[in-house]
Homo-oligomer: A and B are copies of this chain.
């Protein structure tokens, strides 16, 4: 190793995790995974590194800029030298020096995976994937260049029950995390298409959706103003106003929307799908909130759209997804209907931290600290520790020569609830003093019964 000293520092926008943070993150992952498993979803993994050919052009122009690109190995400049140009342009140079990149999400790798391995997969293919993705975004509070995504998708099923399953998964996972402050809002892309049909707005459709999506933030007046600026006529704005004024219970909303969209076949189809989903979920005691202003990356979704919003804390959505049709086409796969949801696990972590929802036990990975007070009893003390470990009790071992205060600090820092200090006579009479560090109680336990004391 070179001996030049280097200041220890992270690359910007990346994080280290302390043991307790890993335990909390793992608790979220394991809780969600356990629900996925019950619903028949299976885990897959794809590499961090993908060919840039696979990634480029899938996330828009802005997304392409945010892809991390990996420098080719060896003398990667051969082609650049042949340009014989000192005024190099990144657009021209990048394809010559980088053919790999870091994955930007888990969806494009899924599409590649499904087409590449279709002969080995069972359809409907229900997979989940929890893993890091990378984006060269400007780092800021709560936004990282390396962060985790958590997705579940069903590929090759157009059943409404697949949608109901995914919404029940949200409910079960959040219940498992003891997190109840959220609502599941749903819409259907076909309802928005129905509105567009009514308006006969043609290519203004995406402007319409972008404006509607802002309703929450800027209010009705500003939305209408924006639409006016985009070329919508007053008559159209009246229809839009009526659409946005839809409110009340789900049933009340359905009634108003069925009237409004009466002349649109696609609109009514969207409402019928929503109604069936609401009914199936209601039978599972799962309440959904109809929200016709929900849009979410509309280019991509073709049916159901869902978003999970935390209530009572100022934070964006902690989950979302929907139904899509042409995911695998880009890789030459046949058109298979799919539906998927994501858990925003980085935000879920923050919400749970804010609400104090992590179990205290995550702070406590070791049950007992065994301390040998004299070199002569080291081996005896180590054997007691090993016996505990073999019985499944997490235990730490300290040899003598360590100051009492340091032992105590160690136990406190690691939240270890019990300490056993072993003296010369303990080995002789086979009786150990187990001290409970919370209530200071001391129990005399026969060495032979030590495991039972902790397991019982």
Contact = CB atoms under 8 A, between A and B. Distances in A.
A45 B15 CA distance: 8
Interface residues of A, number: 117
Given A165-B397, A379-B283, A399-B161, A43 B26 contact: yes
Interface stretch (A88-96, A244-252, A424-432): A88-96
Given A22-B45, A48-B146, A68-B70, A37 B122 contact: no
A141 interface: no
Interface in A45-60: 45-51, 53-54, 57-58
A395 B144 CA distance: 37
Contacts of A54: 6, 8-9
Contact of A57 (B2, B94, B159): B2
A140 interface: no
B49 A11 contact: yes
A390 B21 CA distance: 29
B117 A16 contact: yes
A363 to B, nearest CB: 11
A26 B37 CA distance: 14
Contacts of A89: 77
Nearest to A381: B161
Given A5-B332, A68-B70, A70-B68, A14 B47 contact: yes
Given A19-B44, A26-B43, A117-B18, A57 B4 contact: yes
A48 B6 CA distance: 19
Contact of A90 (B77, B113, B397): B77
A351 interface: no
Interface stretch (A79-87, A216-224, A256-264, A342-350): A79-87
Contact of A330 (B1, B80, B112): B1
A146 B49 contact: yes
A395 B40 contact: yes
Contact of A10 (B10, B47, B122): B47
Given A16-B45, A94-B71, A8 B115 contact: yes
A207 interface: no
A455 interface: no
Please indicate which of the listed interface residues A25, A83, A399 has the most CB atoms of chain B within 10 Å of its own CB: A399
Contacts of A70: 68-71, 102
Interface of A: 1-11, 14-19, 21-23, 25-26, 37-40, 42-51, 53-54, 57-58, 65-66, 68-71, 73, 75-77, 80-81, 83-90, 93-94, 97-100, 102, 112-113, 115-117, 120-122, 127, 132, 134, 136, 145-146, 159, 161, 164-165, 168, 172, 280, 283-284, 299-300, 329-333, 365-366, 378-379, 382-383, 386, 389-390, 392-397, 399, 409-410, 413-414
12 contacts: A3-B330, A10-B50, A11-B50, A17-B46, A21-B45, A40-B414, A68-B71, A71-B97, A85-B86, A168-B389, A172-B389, A283-B383
Given A70-B71, A122-B410, A284-B386, 6 more contacts: A6-B331, A6-B332, A18-B44, A48-B134, A168-B386, A172-B390
